[in-house]
Amino acid sequence: MSDLRDLYQEVILDHNRRPRNFGPLPEATRAADGYNPLCGDRLRVAVHLDVDRIADIRFEGSGCAISKASASLMTESVKGRTLAEVDALFQGFHQMVTASPGTPPDAALGKLTVLAGVGEFPMRVKCATLAWHTLKAALHDPNAIATTE
């Protein structure tokens, strides 16, 4: 059995303490708000979309360490990617955190795999996927408010 402490690896703690791409994005062309009522995490994801590529992305808000670290890692992973690549990453990430415990994560997810352990804590899966649901809402349905419910 893995310990809850294993979930809070150094990379996750670092991204929580010093979130990357955190703050407002004045030149944003898309944005959406996300809310995870189970934990109280609230995020706003803003994107500067250049045709079908994410030229820049920032997030703001407050939440638990997992939601913040996941948002930070997400912004690093999707910056410069096309919408199709982002969809594929989201699918892979979602599969990883909902896979049965012990399933090796897809190496194509890169540093996102530090969140693989979240799958053993169902309450935390919603924290980890909130930023992704919010990004998806911003890209596909800009007027939506994303929720994990």
CA-based angle 74:75:76, to the nearest 5? Answer: 90
Quickly count: other Cβ atoms within 10 Å of residue 94's Cβ: 15
CB of 133 to Zn ion, least distance (A): 13
The 8-class DSSP code of residue 22 comes to B
In this chain, which stretch among 1-9, 52-60, 63-71, 81-89 interacts with Zn ion, using CB under 5 A? 63-71
Cβ distance to Zn ion smaller for residue 40 or 110: 40
Q: How far apart are CA 124 and CA 91, in angstroms?
A: 17
Q: Which residues face 32 on adjacent strands? A: 45
Residues listed for the chain: 149
Residue 35 vs 48, nearer CB to Zn ion: 35
Query: From residue 110 to residue 139, what is the string marking binding to Zn ion with x (rule CB under 5 A)?
Result: -----------------x------------
Radius of gyration, CA atoms only, the chain: 14
Give the number of residues in contact with Zn ion, rule: CB under 5 A.
5
Which three-class secondary structure state does DSSP give residue 89? helix
Q: Does 64 bind Zn ion (CB under 5 A)?
A: yes
Of residues 24-53, those binding Zn ion (CB under 5 A): 39, 41
Instruction: Report the residue from 67, 70, 77, 113 that binds Zn ion according to the rule CB under 5 A.
Output: 67
**Shortest separation between residue 112's beta carbon and Zn ion, angstroms:** 17
Nearer to Zn ion among residue 57 and residue 64 (C-beta): 64
Q: DSSP character for 114?
A: G
What contacts 64, CB < 8 A, 6 or more positions away?
39, 40, 41, 127
Smaller CB separation from Zn ion, 21 or 70: 70
**Which positions lie near Zn ion, rule CB under 5 A?**
39, 41, 64, 67, 127
